[in-house]
Chain A
Amino acid sequence: MKKENLVTVEFFGLYRLAYKRASVELDAKNIKDLFNQLYELDQVYTPKELKNSIVILNGTNIMELKKFRTKLNAGDNVLIMNAASGG
């Protein structure tokens, strides 16, 4: 039996409004896989479009890790958000 690699994905900013949900749990092995699964699930943004989001894995921007090939482990917390400004 395949071991589950459940990660929590949280949406912020415009992504939260577009996905109409605050979070979702997915079984994904890396960020690219996660993007594919999100598209299969909701068909809101294509994986290519999601590459324009800011992705924070356990507090670190994935661009400082292995970008979209960054591996995910069970229990990881992934935030997807847009660049924001204006206070």
Chain B
Amino acid sequence: MATKYGAYAGKVMYVDLTTKTYKEYPVNDKDRKLFVGGKVLAARIMHDLIKGPVDPFSPENPIIITSCPLNGTPCPSSARFNVSAISPLTNLLTSSNCGGSFGTQLKRAGLDALIIVGKSEDFIYLDVSEDGIEFKDAEFLRGKHTGETQELLPKKAGKFVIGPAGENLVKYACVVSDERAAGRGGVGAVFGSKNLKAVIADGKNMAPRYNQDKLTKLIRKWVKDLTSHPLTGDQLPKLGTAGLLSTMQQKKLLATKNFKQGQFEHYRDICGEELAEKYLIKNKGCRACPIQCGRVVEVNGKEVKGPEVEIMGLMGANILNNDLQKIIQWNYELDELGMDTISTAGTVAFAMELNEKGIWDSGLNFGKVDNISQILDDIAHRRGEVGDQLANGSKWLSEKYGGKDFCMNAKGMELSAYEPRAAVGQGLGYAVSNRGGCHLNGGYLVVLEGLGLSIDQYTTAGKAAFTVMFQDIMESVSAGGNCLFTTYAFFPPFLLSKPNWWLTRIVNKVFPYFGPIIKIANKHSKLLKVNIASMLPQPLGITHATGIKMTMGGMMALGARGYNLERLINFRLGLDPATDTLPKRLTEVLQDRDNKRSKVPLDKLRAKYYSARGWKKDGTIKKRTLRYYNLLNLDDISTRSLEEQGERNIIPPKPKKRKKD
């Protein structure tokens, strides 16, 4: 083990599929301290590997799978691991987070991260264990759905697999572990381009924790806080994320008819309450999760994962469909085919509008649902002209057929289900997000703008500074390995359980005016050397598990380090800051003709955001910002000698044969 820190396996492996060889990648404790894990550590490694634009389907595109220090610990909701690559959808860096068992198993197999480059000549899967990495024939898995693929692989292992969509290079193909998906950005297609069907990992390595007693004590309080909080203890377990939909409707946040409107008259038929009453069999969560937000429903006589709010909105209101049974069916089919539900739905809605306008007849029409299952299957197999073209995503279609003003994407990635003209901070987040039109990477400000708190949805005050803070916190929480839902304890419970109380109303009124203070806090985050376990327990979790001293300010700095580093890599990939933007439908067309504020004032918000980030007016990063976050003059990890790591296992013994394969 090459680390003094707890909870890490202490080894990162670099795998070349072309030569079918692997070697240790000399990540050291300084890297662990600064970049921790998950998407931030992946960005650090990506910084070594990406020197200029990369074709996402070329052998040079690295797939970096990173576990996180809290994976495998009993910390609540700590199963989240990350996969990063250059996205075929955006041609920029993408990172996608998943709650399946693979992350924990990767660590048990003795690795913190796996870097995969090159392209295999034959169709293979990787088998990672404490004994090493084996390159195994995957012909027997070719064309198989994600569920069947996982069933055919060894039972005990953690699996990370693609379906037909990844094999056929659908640009928004996902990678699936258990029934959870690393959905966004099309990493599944990058797997496919490398002839890589799956990675499995299995082992018994249990990395010791730095201070188990303190960690146990913290976890007891943490679980208690989560299970007693109105969101994580009540709303999410009972209704899942789907419970948001009816609130989105009331707040005009429910993307409807390809984001033409923010409300859907038939929302009652597709809301989370309907799902809970008529379809829910039981709850299910990721490993070590007390929230259990996952839904289990029945499709074709089988118990499967139920839909999340994004697909319920985007395959419901956004395509004028009020048949919830169909949404449940499509959700299952998309998981099995291995396609991101959000990008698929956004592409379908755009094609519907192109058809409605007489621009391109794909056979897709708003409100018509009978042919959708067939079209999803056609997309996954790139079958026929329609399937093949839809597989390239909405931006590609807009470049071919026109309609950029109503092609609802940011940087090539389709937007999530939140209509940002009624939540302008969320609109800013979509526009500036490193990975494109993602609600979470964008900062999820909609949580302040109607979903949870109820600050002024249309004001620009404070929105930029809060976007920066939320992006950074979510970035760092992801790096640690917790689910983002654990951050909801950040809000004192009374703000949600007593929305009409005078204090709650005052908080909602004054919240935006804290923007300047938040801006200062963001810029000097390293000075915030405090921990308040009831607000943000994650830094204490990292401290007790690893021994890396982490504070709330340290988490903000870690997040900012990751966010700036990702931006830096995106510049190397050819990012044009002019693409920090949104389709004109959202910035120029009013959602509500009687409300002149009901569009995203993006120019104003973006300028404030750049300033709050410590970036120049042209969107590039100031040198002093890079210096503050220790991002100046980063060395190339690959050029270090392994001896710099100290004690370690140098070469793994010859792989043992599995008993059951």
| Contact yes or no, B235 A82, CB < 8 A | yes
| Contact yes or no, A79 B250, CB < 8 A | yes
1/0 contact string of A59-86 vs chain B (CB within 8 Å): 1000100010000000000010111111
The 8 Å CB contact of B244, one of A53, A63, A67, A86, is: A86
Residue among B230, B241, B243 with the highest chain A CB neighbour number at 10 A = B243
| Contact yes or no, A84 B500, CB < 8 A | no
**Which chain A residues (34-56) contact chain B, with CB distance < 8 Å?**
51-54, 56
In the assembled complex, the Cα of A82 lies from the Cα of B326 at a distance in Å of 27
User: Is there a chain A Cβ closer than 8 Å to B558's Cβ?
Assistant: no
Q: Given the complex, which residues of A lie within 8 Å of B234, measured CB to CB?
A: 14
User: Is there a chain A Cβ closer than 8 Å to B239's Cβ?
Assistant: yes
| Contact yes or no, B235 A87, CB < 8 A | no
In the assembled complex, the Cα of A51 lies from the Cα of B505 at a distance in Å of 14
In the assembled complex, the Cα of A22 lies from the Cα of B495 at a distance in Å of 25
User: Is there a chain A Cβ closer than 8 Å to B613's Cβ?
Assistant: no
Instruction: Give the shortest distance, in Å, between A63 (CB) and chain B (any CB).
Output: 6
The 8 Å CB contact of A87, one of B310, B495, B496, B498, is: B310
Instruction: Give the shortest distance, in Å, between B340 (CB) and chain A (any CB).
Output: 15
| Contact yes or no, A87 B418, CB < 8 A | yes
Q: Given the complex, which residues of B lie within 8 Å of A52, measured CB to CB?
A: 497-501
The 8 Å CB contact of B308, one of A14, A63, A67, A87, is: A87
| Contact yes or no, A12 B439, CB < 8 A | no
Q: Given the complex, which residues of A lie within 8 Å of B277, measured CB to CB?
A: 16-17
Q: A13-B239, A14-B238, A52-B500 are in contact. Are A81 and B247 (CB under 8 A)?
A: yes
User: Is there a chain A Cβ closer than 8 Å to B447's Cβ?
Assistant: yes
Q: A17-B276, A52-B499, A56-B250 are in contact. Are A84 and B505 (CB under 8 A)?
A: no
User: Is there a chain A Cβ closer than 8 Å to B348's Cβ?
Assistant: no
Query: Which chain B residue shows the least CB distance to A63?
Result: B500
In the assembled complex, the Cα of A87 lies from the Cα of B241 at a distance in Å of 5
| Contact yes or no, A12 B271, CB < 8 A | yes
| Contact yes or no, A84 B247, CB < 8 A | yes
**Which chain B residues (222-241) contact chain A, with CB distance < 8 Å?**
230-232, 234-236, 238-239, 241
Q: Given the complex, which residues of B lie within 8 Å of A63, measured CB to CB?
A: 500, 505
| Contact yes or no, A85 B451, CB < 8 A | yes
| Contact yes or no, A85 B499, CB < 8 A | no
**Which chain A residues (1-52) contact chain B, with CB distance < 8 Å?**
10-14, 16-17, 22, 51-52
In the assembled complex, the Cα of A51 lies from the Cα of B444 at a distance in Å of 28
| Contact yes or no, A85 B452, CB < 8 A | yes
| Contact yes or no, A85 B276, CB < 8 A | no
Instruction: Give the shortest distance, in Å, between B132 (CB) and chain A (any CB).
Output: 41
User: Is there a chain A Cβ closer than 8 Å to B101's Cβ?
Assistant: no
Query: Which chain A residue shows the least CB distance to B485?
Result: A86
User: Is there a chain A Cβ closer than 8 Å to B417's Cβ?
Assistant: yes
Residue among A54, A59, A82, A86 with the highest chain B CB neighbour number at 10 A = A86
Q: Given the complex, which residues of B lie within 8 Å of A59, measured CB to CB?
A: 250
Query: Which chain B residue shows the least CB distance to A54?
Result: B499
In the assembled complex, the Cα of A86 lies from the Cα of B272 at a distance in Å of 12
User: Is there a chain A Cβ closer than 8 Å to B105's Cβ?
Assistant: no
Q: A14-B234, A16-B273, A82-B235 are in contact. Are A87 and B246 (CB under 8 A)?
A: no
Q: Given the complex, which residues of A lie within 8 Å of B238, measured CB to CB?
A: 14, 17
Query: Which chain B residue shows the least CB distance to A85?
Result: B452
The 8 Å CB contact of A83, one of B232, B239, B446, B496, is: B496
Q: Given the complex, which residues of B lie within 8 Å of A67, measured CB to CB?
A: 500
In the assembled complex, the Cα of A86 lies from the Cα of B450 at a distance in Å of 11
| Contact yes or no, B244 A84, CB < 8 A | yes
Instruction: Give the shortest distance, in Å, between A79 (CB) and chain B (any CB).
Output: 7
Q: A85-B451, A86-B231, A87-B451 are in contact. Are A13 and B246 (CB under 8 A)?
A: yes
Q: Given the complex, which residues of B lie within 8 Å of A51, measured CB to CB?
A: 500
User: Is there a chain A Cβ closer than 8 Å to B488's Cβ?
Assistant: yes
User: Is there a chain A Cβ closer than 8 Å to B309's Cβ?
Assistant: yes
B residues adjacent to A (C-beta < 8 A): 230-232, 234-236, 238-239, 241, 243-244, 246-247, 250, 268, 271, 273, 276-277, 293, 308-310, 416-418, 439, 444, 446-447, 451-454, 485, 488, 491, 495-501, 505
Q: Can you list 25 A-B pairs, Cβ within 8 angstroms, ordered by A? A: A10-B268, A13-B235, A14-B235, A14-B238, A17-B276, A51-B500, A52-B497, A52-B500, A53-B499, A54-B250, A63-B500, A79-B250, A81-B250, A83-B247, A83-B453, A84-B235, A84-B246, A85-B235, A85-B451, A86-B232, A86-B293, A86-B447, A86-B451, A87-B241, A87-B417
- Since A10-B268, A54-B250 are in contact, a sample of 13 more A-B pairs with Cβ atoms closer than 8 Å, ordered by chain A residue number, is A12-B246, A13-B235, A13-B247, A14-B238, A16-B277, A82-B230, A83-B452, A85-B235, A85-B447, A86-B243, A86-B244, A86-B447, A87-B308
A residues adjacent to B (C-beta < 8 A): 10-14, 16-17, 22, 51-54, 56, 59, 63, 67, 79, 81-87
